[in-house]
Amino acid sequence: MQLELRPYIVTDCAAILEIINYNIIHSTALYDYHPRTLAQQEAIFDDKLQKDFPILVAVLDNKIVGFGYYSEFRFREAYRFTVEHSVYVHPDYQGLKIGHQLLEALIETAKNQKLHTMIAVIDSENQGSVKFHEKLGFETVGIIKESGFKFNRWLHSVFMQKMLD
């Protein structure tokens, strides 16, 4: 079983949507309340690609098992060297270092694009993701308390940062 990382193409979106909607429905990894439609997800990714941001997919045995991307952190011009990333792995394939490989590839791409820093925004309940990011050199730089409300409770956002240069 050889994991392949490659750029996203629009026909990948249905498989990616399955991963996203699983997380929307079952976790606090995404603060969305309602599953996305295929058209919504395609539009989100089209916007990222038009802005020259990468979207990578992880393929194992011809199945999309994960994906990752980064895009603008904030919309002001002075933030143009800072990006926020997202990495998701299909629940049946977690623990196989797929997320690790995706994030390493995104970090390398960001360095090649001469970006300065990468931000992760993680729900505080997701300590596995916090530890995952720490292993890749991210540091916690802040916590915003009660910044989200999902599953009938307040959630805190952990901001983590990795300097790229």
For the chain, domain boundaries: 4-163
- Cβ burial of 32 (10 Å; 0-12, 13-18, 19+) is middle
DSSP three-state, residue 41: helix
Q: What is the DSSP string of 77-116?
A: GGGTTEEEEEEEE-GGGTTSSHHHHHHHHHHHHHHHTT--
The confidence score (pLDDT) of residue 70 equals 98
Q: Which residues of the chain have pLDDT under 70?
A: 1
Task: Tally the residues of the chain.
Answer: 165
- Looking at the whole model, is its pTM more than 0.75? yes
| The listed CATH number (3.40.630.30, 3.30.360.10, 3.40.50.9100, 3.60.150.10) that belongs to domain 4-163 | 3.40.630.30
The confidence score (pLDDT) of residue 115 equals 98
The confidence score (pLDDT) of residue 110 equals 98
The confidence score (pLDDT) of residue 150 equals 98
pLDDT in tens, 129-144: 999 999 999 999 999 9
Instruction: Quote the CA–CA distance of 151 and 111 in Å, as a whole number.
Output: 37
- Residue with structure tokens 């925004």? 121
